A and B are shown apart, each in its own frame.
Chain A
Amino acid sequence: MSAVEHNHEEEDHGHHKETFITKYIFSQDHKMISKQYLITGLFMGIIGIAMSLMFRLQLAWPEKSFGIFESLLGKWAPDGVMDPNVYLALVTIHGTIMVFFVLTAGLSGTFSNLLIPLQIGARDMASGLLNMISFWLFFLSSVIMIASLFVEAGPAAAGWTIYPPLSALPQAQPGSGMGMTLWLISMAIFVASSLLGSLNYIVTVINLRVKGMTMSRLPLTIWAFFVTAIIGVVSFPVLLSAALLLIMDRSFGTSFFLSDIFIQGEVLHYQGGSPVLYEHLFWFLGHPEVYIVLLPALGITSEIIATNSRKPIFGYRAMVVSIIAIAFLSTIVWGHHMFISGMNPFLGSVFTFTTLLIAIPSAVKAFNYITTLWKGNLQLNPAMLFSIGLVSTFISGGLTGIILGDSTLDINVHDTYFVVAHFHLVMGISALYGLFAGVYHWFPKMFGRMMNKNMGYVHFWVTAVCAYGVFFPMHFIGMAGLPRRYYTNTAFPYFDDIADINVVITIFALIAGAAQLVFLYNFIHSIFYGKKAEQNPWRSNTMEWTAPVEHMHGNWPGAIPEVHRWAYDYSKPGQEEDFVSQIVPLKEGEEELQH
Chain B
Amino acid sequence: MTAILTLMVLVLIAISLWQVAKIFEMSQTSKNNSQVANDSDNDTQGKLMFAFLAFLYILTLYSFWAWGDVLLPAAASEHGGEYDSLMWISFALIFFVQTITQALLHYFSFKYRGEPGKRAMFYADNNRLEAYWTIIPAITLAGLILSGLYTWNDIMTVEENEEALVVELYAQQFNWKARYSGQDGVLGDANVRFLQDFDGKNVIGIDATDPNGLDDVVTQELHLPVGREVIFKMRSQDVLHSAYMPHFRAQMNCVPGMITEFAFTPITTTDDMRLDPDVVAKVKKINKIRAENSKQLVADGDEALEPYIFDYILLCNKICGTSHYNMQMKIIVETPEAYEAWMIQQQTFAQVIQ
Asked if chains A and B come from one complex, the reply is yes
Hey, which bits of chain A sit against chain B, CB under 8 A? 84-85, 88, 158-159, 163-166, 169, 172-174, 258-263, 267, 272-276, 309-318, 340-342, 345, 348-349, 352-353, 356-357, 359-360, 363-364, 366-371, 373-381, 384-385, 388, 391-392, 395-396, 399-400, 402-403, 406-409, 411-412, 414-416, 450-453, 457, 461, 464-465, 468-469, 472-473, 476-477, 479-481, 483, 485-489, 491-494, 496-499, 501, 530-531, 537-538, 568, 570-573, 578, 593, 595
Interface membership of B1, Cβ < 8 A: no
CB distance from B47 to the nearest CB of A (A): 10
Q: Given A159-B319, A165-B238, A488-B325, are A259 and B256 also a contact pair (CB < 8 Å)? A: yes
Among the stretches B19-27, B127-135, B220-228, the one at the interface with A is: B127-135
Complex interface: chain B residues within 8 A of A453 (CB): 35-37, 41
Complex interface: chain A residues within 8 A of B119 (CB): 310, 377, 571, 578
Interface membership of B145, Cβ < 8 A: yes
Within 8 A of A (CB), among B65-106: 67-73, 83, 86-87, 90-91, 93-94, 97-98, 101-102, 104-106
Interface membership of B240, Cβ < 8 A: yes
Among the stretches B190-198, B207-215, B269-277, B334-342, the one at the interface with A is: B190-198
What are some 7 contacts across the A-B interface (CB < 8 A)? A262-B195, A310-B119, A352-B148, A395-B105, A399-B94, A409-B87, A493-B290
Interface membership of B141, Cβ < 8 A: yes
Contacts A311-B123, A375-B121, A395-B98 given; 7 further ones with Cβ under 8 A? A352-B145, A364-B134, A376-B108, A453-B37, A476-B63, A497-B289, A573-B122
How far, in whole Å, are A349 and B151 apart by their CA atoms in the complex? 11
CB distance from A337 to the nearest CB of B (A): 11
How far, in whole Å, are A169 and B118 apart by their CA atoms in the complex? 65
Chain A residue at smallest Cβ distance from B55:
A465
Complex interface: chain B residues within 8 A of A364 (CB): 130, 133-134
Contact (Cβ within 8 A) B108 A363? no
Hey, which bits of chain B sit against chain A, CB under 8 A? 33-37, 41-42, 45-46, 48-49, 52, 55-56, 59-60, 63, 67-73, 83, 86-87, 90-91, 93-94, 97-98, 101-102, 104-106, 108-109, 112-115, 118-126, 129-130, 133-134, 137-138, 141-142, 144-145, 148-149, 151-153, 155-157, 172-173, 191-193, 195-196, 205, 234, 237-240, 242, 244, 246, 249-253, 255-258, 260, 282, 285-286, 289-290, 305, 308, 310-311, 313, 315-326, 328
CB distance from A386 to the nearest CB of B (A): 12
Contact (Cβ within 8 A) A538 B258? no
The 3 closest A-B pairs by CB, nearest first: A259-B257, A481-B246, A380-B45
Among B45, B153, B323, the one with the most A-chain Cβ atoms within 10 Å of its Cβ is: B45
Complex interface: chain B residues within 8 A of A273 (CB): 257
Among A158, A483, A531, the one with the most B-chain Cβ atoms within 10 Å of its Cβ is: A483
Complex interface: chain B residues within 8 A of A488 (CB): 325
Chain B residue at smallest Cβ distance from A262:
B192
Name the contact of B45 in the complex, choosing from A317, A385, A400 (C-beta under 8 A).
Answer: A385
Name the contact of B33 in the complex, choosing from A379, A487, A531 (C-beta under 8 A).
Answer: A531
How far, in whole Å, are A84 and B325 apart by their CA atoms in the complex? 9
Chain A residue at smallest Cβ distance from B286:
A496
Name the contact of A340 in the complex, choosing from B67, B148, B242, B286 (C-beta under 8 A).
Answer: B242
Complex interface: chain B residues within 8 A of A498 (CB): 67, 70
Contact (Cβ within 8 A) B325 A165? no
Contact (Cβ within 8 A) B130 A315? yes
Complex interface: chain B residues within 8 A of A309 (CB): 112, 120
Q: Given A379-B36, A416-B317, A457-B45, are A402 and B90 also a contact pair (CB < 8 Å)? A: yes
Contact (Cβ within 8 A) A499 B67? no
CB distance from B248 to the nearest CB of A (A): 9
CB distance from B304 to the nearest CB of A (A): 13
Complex interface: chain A residues within 8 A of B59 (CB): 468-469, 472
Name the contact of B256 in the complex, choosing from A165, A412, A595 (C-beta under 8 A).
Answer: A165
Chain A residue at smallest Cβ distance from B200:
A265
Complex interface: chain A residues within 8 A of B114 (CB): 310, 377-380
Name the contact of B122 in the complex, choosing from A311, A366, A537 (C-beta under 8 A).
Answer: A311
How far, in whole Å, are A366 and B105 apart by their CA atoms in the complex? 10
Name the contact of A166 in the complex, choosing from B36, B69, B94, B239 (C-beta under 8 A).
Answer: B239
How far, in whole Å, are A318 and B318 apart by their CA atoms in the complex? 40
Contact (Cβ within 8 A) B134 A496? no
Chain A residue at smallest Cβ distance from B124:
A312
Complex interface: chain B residues within 8 A of A573 (CB): 122
Chain B residue at smallest Cβ distance from A265:
B196
How far, in whole Å, are A391 and B320 apart by their CA atoms in the complex? 36
Contact (Cβ within 8 A) A595 B70? no
Name the contact of B152 in the complex, choosing from A348, A414, A487, A571 (C-beta under 8 A).
Answer: A348
Q: Given A261-B192, A379-B42, are A316 and B148 also a contact pair (CB < 8 Å)? A: no
Complex interface: chain A residues within 8 A of B324 (CB): 84, 88, 485-487
Chain A residue at smallest Cβ distance from B91:
A403
Complex interface: chain A residues within 8 A of B289 (CB): 496-497, 499
How far, in whole Å, are A262 and B290 apart by their CA atoms in the complex? 39
Q: Given A381-B36, A408-B86, A414-B251, are A314 and B155 also a contact pair (CB < 8 Å)? A: no
Among B155, B191, B318, the one with the most A-chain Cβ atoms within 10 Å of its Cβ is: B318
Complex interface: chain B residues within 8 A of A369 (CB): 105
Contact (Cβ within 8 A) A399 B130? no
CB distance from B116 to the nearest CB of A (A): 10
How far, in whole Å, are A363 and B153 apart by their CA atoms in the complex? 28
Chain B residue at smallest Cβ distance from A468:
B59
How far, in whole Å, are A316 and B130 apart by their CA atoms in the complex? 11
CB distance from A166 to the nearest CB of B (A): 4
Name the contact of A378 in the complex, choosing from B71, B73, B109, B320 (C-beta under 8 A).
Answer: B109
How far, in whole Å, are A323 and B272 apart by their CA atoms in the complex? 53
Contact (Cβ within 8 A) A342 B36? no
Name the contact of B83 in the complex, choosing from A84, A341, A411 (C-beta under 8 A).
Answer: A411
How far, in whole Å, are A169 and B72 apart by their CA atoms in the complex? 36
How far, in whole Å, are A497 and B67 apart by their CA atoms in the complex? 9
Contact (Cβ within 8 A) A374 B108? yes
Contact (Cβ within 8 A) A378 B113? yes
Contact (Cβ within 8 A) B148 A370? no
CB distance from B255 to the nearest CB of A (A): 5
Contact (Cβ within 8 A) A409 B98? no
Contact (Cβ within 8 A) A483 B315? yes
Complex interface: chain B residues within 8 A of A367 (CB): 101, 130, 133
Contact (Cβ within 8 A) A312 B106? no
Complex interface: chain A residues within 8 A of B318 (CB): 163, 415
Complex interface: chain A residues within 8 A of B97 (CB): 395, 399
Complex interface: chain B residues within 8 A of A164 (CB): 239
How far, in whole Å, are A340 and B34 apart by their CA atoms in the complex? 55
Contact (Cβ within 8 A) B255 A275? yes
How far, in whole Å, are A409 and B149 apart by their CA atoms in the complex? 10
How far, in whole Å, are A316 and B125 apart by their CA atoms in the complex? 8
Complex interface: chain A residues within 8 A of B94 (CB): 399-400, 402-403
Name the contact of B123 in the complex, choosing from A349, A375, A487 (C-beta under 8 A).
Answer: A375
Chain B residue at smallest Cβ distance from A176:
B321
Q: Given A274-B257, A368-B130, are A263 and B173 also a contact pair (CB < 8 Å)? A: yes
Complex interface: chain A residues within 8 A of B109 (CB): 373, 378, 380, 388
How far, in whole Å, are A415 and B91 apart by their CA atoms in the complex? 19
Chain B residue at smallest Cβ distance from A174:
B322
Chain A residue at smallest Cβ distance from B53:
A392
Complex interface: chain B residues within 8 A of A578 (CB): 119-120
Contact (Cβ within 8 A) A345 B98? no
Among B42, B126, B133, the one with the most A-chain Cβ atoms within 10 Å of its Cβ is: B133
Contact (Cβ within 8 A) A345 B152? yes
Q: Given A311-B122, A348-B152, are A166 and B240 also a contact pair (CB < 8 Å)? A: yes
How far, in whole Å, are A92 and B93 apart by their CA atoms in the complex? 34
